[in-house]
Structure 1
Amino acid sequence: MNDTSHSNQQNLYLFHSAMASPSSTKVVHDFFPLFRVYEDGRVERALEQVFTPPSDNPATGVRSRDVVIVPEHNVRARLYLPKITCEDQKLPVLVYIHGGAFVLNSASSSMYDSYLHALTAKAKVLTVSVDYRLAPEHKLPACYDDSWAVIQWVVSHAQESGPGSDPWLKSHADLTRVFLAGDSAGGNIAHNMMVRAGGSGLKPAGMILDHPYFGTGKPHELWDKVWECIYPESTGMDDPTHNPAASLEILSGLLCSKIMLVISEKDFVREGGLKYYEALKKSGWGGKLELVDVEGEEHVFHLLNPTCEKAGLLMDRAVAFLNSL
């Protein structure tokens, strides 16, 4: 993967939220190191994040750029266009939603930028990476609403006379082949976007759920409290947005014809992924369900260690899924 790992990138940005003094104000929610919320509303994140600007990769021919889609909420997307062989070449569209427990990362996070440059080059897809508002500053369902706004923006390019005006999408998007994908919390969001698609007229071709975060219906001391903090309007741990297995009826109505579900042996959200798999099979959903269970690996290992052999094999599986009819 050396030719697509952005070894020529410059201007990397390190970010971690301003550290509030714990003695300066009362902590009302403490999920360190994910985040702390102080009584005055300040949010502290301790995990260092690295961001990188959009760029062109001369080794692969992939180009990327950022677009603003909902200015009032600063909802953005990073677009990736692979090397084009002819002016009217049409490409499948991949809408990718990043992970980070709903509270971390962005479309400009370096690990996502590198991964999507590589995937775009190998799969020959036009990729739209969603940059949604983060909790806890923006409570759920903000991330769902923002992701849906990006999907609607993509679909607005379907007709020649449609309102969409992005030149890459207008010229090269095959909107009969739209795929949704996401990892961790982004996998949760991608699933919920597929649910929303049921009443929209959009029929995505498929979905990749990569180590998705789903509830299991069982109590969990940490994640139950995090969920309550970031989504206070949720109906609880069996809210179908959190635990899709709680509603077989909703699962049975998913519109896509195929789903690739990735879990790993040592992944802390493995049980939720397996429950999703079993529930989808029981629901009567009529599509093709492909389970990829990676031995010996942990949560989103392919993003954290992209040069390892199993990350390369997982990339190949994703490419094959996106390119198959």
Structure 2
Amino acid sequence: MPPGKYGMQEEWEKEGDQNILMDFLLPTGIFLKFPVPRNDTIKNIKKMVWRNAKTEALYCGLGDPEGYVFTCINDTAEREELEEESRRISDVRPFMCVLRLVAREGDRGEKLTNSHISSLIGKGLHEFEAQKNHEVDEFRSKMRTFCEEKALERHNLPWQQWMEYSFPCDLEPCYSPPVHGGTKSKHTKKLFINVKFEACDESFMLQQDPLDIPVALMKSALKKRATVFRSVRQEPEDYTLQVSGRWEFIYGNHPLGQFKYIFSCLRNGQNPQLIMVHHSTISKYQEEQGQLCSQMGKIRSQSRPPPLPMKKQNT
């Protein structure tokens, strides 16, 4: 074999979306062989394995797909668990076209983090662990505890502070009204902003000064709503403004014209499209993120397959 030409290296370096014939070893002792697109993700390949396994023996011995993870021998001759299932098989580049399915064990969140770190530094973390360096282990443990405490602190922030941390304002460096003859015009061009209330069809086209801050726009929207629908006036402090179709929020003591989205609309002659979002919705996002963080820190394999029967020994 020529130097440097080994395994599947040449195959993974090809371009295109050709199919590659792969072997799959299941924990039930079943062997599968079928083609997969070289640019398909590990997650999709796992689904294909489950579909093909349905027609094979001992399918009932397989548990939930989330309880398993693929392993392979990578191009550096190391055993690798493919926890990051959004990766493409062509990015993983196994040494041979063989994937082994094994029961997922240990802390999946930690393994996923380690996998990301290994991909970034181009080196397996097991090399650091093999050094048996007590200081490194202690540092990693303390840093993880520190990060978990900080995540918990942010989860417990009031909704406005959490929003400021999670969705910082996207601002232009500065904003000033048009200048005519070296002096600021007293008649600044007004903005026409379409404001829609979430979870309903109520929307209003409001005229606002670009130098006004977001709370002024929210006051105008609530006043207009109360006038048109004769509803009870609500406090603008209970709301925030979201850019329609984006995870981008308009808040704080900045002029409306300084927000990049509104500045862009003003420059292009378009009307900004904003949504009035109640603080309960932001609190819901905050709670969902907190639950996700808790799960990432506590996930353990709970759906392990039943043990295989012992093979009979010929005596």
Fold similarity call, TM over 0.5: no
Structure 1 length normalisation: TM-score?
0.23
Between structures 1 and 2, the one with greater helix share? 2
Structure 2 length normalisation: TM-score?
0.23
Between structures 1 and 2, the one with greater strand share? 1
- Larger-Rg structure: 2
* Larger RCO of the pair (alpha carbons < 8 Å, separation 6+): 2
